[in-house]
A = this chain, B = another copy of it.
Amino acid sequence: MTARKENSTYTLNEKFITDCDLTYAANKIGGRWKIIILDKLGKRKMRFNELKKEFPYISERMLTLQLRALEHDELVKRTVYAAVPPRVEYELTPIALEFLPIFCQLSAWGKKNKMLKNNRS
C-alpha cells in the first residue's frame, strides 16, 4: 500500500498540521483542483465530462484523483447510473455545502486584491 512513511519530520509535521482545526480544514480543500471543483459542484450536480469541460486542460487522471479524494473525505457524493454509455453524477454533501460561504469570501478577497495588484502595474 505504499506505506513508506516513517517517523520522519515530514510525517510529524503532517500530524501537527492535521491536529490543528484550521489546517485540518485547509487540507481538505488544498491542492490545485479541489476548491474549484467543489465550487462548481456548489452550483449544481455534474457529470464527469461536464466537470472536465469546466477545466480545459485538466487531465482525466487528475479529475478522477481529485474526485476520489473528495469522495473519500465525504465532500462529494458519487452516483452511478447503470447505463451504456456509463453515467456518473457528482454532487456536494451537506458538510461540503458549509464551505460555500467561505468560498464566497475568499473569492471576494481574490477579486479585490487582484484588482489592486493590477492597478499598480
Chain A interfacial positions (CB closer than 8 Å to B): 9, 12-13, 16-17, 20-26, 29-32, 35-36, 39, 55-59, 95, 98-99, 101-103, 105-111, 113-114, 116
Q: How many copies are assembled?
A: 2
How many Å lie between the Cα of A105 and that of B22 in the bound state? 9
Give the contacting residue for A57; candidates B12, B102, B108, B111; CB below 8 A.
B12
B107 lies within 8 A of A13 (CB): no
Q: Closest approach, in angstroms, between the C-beta of A105 and any C-beta of chain B?
A: 5
B22 lies within 8 A of A56 (CB): no
Residue of B whose beta carbon sits closest to that of A101: B105
Please give, as numbers and ranges, the residues of chain B lying within 8 Å of A35 by CB-CB distance. 22-23, 26
